[in-house]
Amino acid sequence: MATKKNIITVGRRKSSVARVFITKGSGKITINGKDLKNYFPLQFMQDALMKPLRTLDMAETFDVSVNVNGGGIKGQTDAITLAIARALVQDNAENKPALRAERLMTRDARVVERKKTGLRKARKREQYSKR
């Protein structure tokens, strides 16, 4: 029995965490059991997910299965993009310079700042009243 090479990677952005499973295949992408176009109906998000694969001309080479949770749709999109890029590098280390040139290998560490006591939000204060 021939086993398919399965690559598993993790991508994070804000509070979103994406686990990506990549196998050789025909280019099918499923996210949480749904098709890509059903899970992310906006075209620019679909393009962002496909960017690592298109950069290396591998859009029809791999089947991608994703489990993603937490955060909003933009954070999830960026988390999946990072995980796919990491998986392509794990498959072949020669892919890294091309993906780095497109800024796909960097983990964006910005997260929401915590709320402080005595303030309305992280930095927003009660309006000052002189009289």
Domain-located, residue 48: yes
Q: Where are the alpha helices (DSSP H) in the chain?
A: 36-39, 43-55, 73-91, 96-101
Rg (CA), the chain: 19
Domain assignment of residue 58, yes or no: yes
Which pLDDT does position 1 carry in this prediction? 42
- Residue 92: inside a domain, yes or no? yes
pLDDT of residue 5: 80
DSSP, collapsed to helix, strand or coil, labels residue 104 as coil
| Domain presence at residue 63 | yes
Domain total in the chain? 1
Structural domain span for residue 32: 7-101
Judge contact between 59 and 53, C-beta under 8 A.
yes
Backbone angles phi, psi at 33, to 5 degrees: 80, 0
**In sequence order, what are the beta bridge partners of 30?**
35, 65
Structural domain includes residue 50: yes
Residue 4's pLDDT is: 60
Query: From first to last of its 131 residues, what are the pLDDT tens digits of the chain?
Result: 444 689 999 999 999 999 999 999 999 999 999 999 999 999 999 999 999 999 999 989 999 999 999 999 999 999 999 999 999 999 999 999 999 999 999 999 999 999 999 999 999 999 999 98
Q: Kindly report the CATH number assigned to the domain that includes residue 17.
A: 3.30.230.10
| Position 124 in a domain | no
pTM above 0.85, yes or no: yes
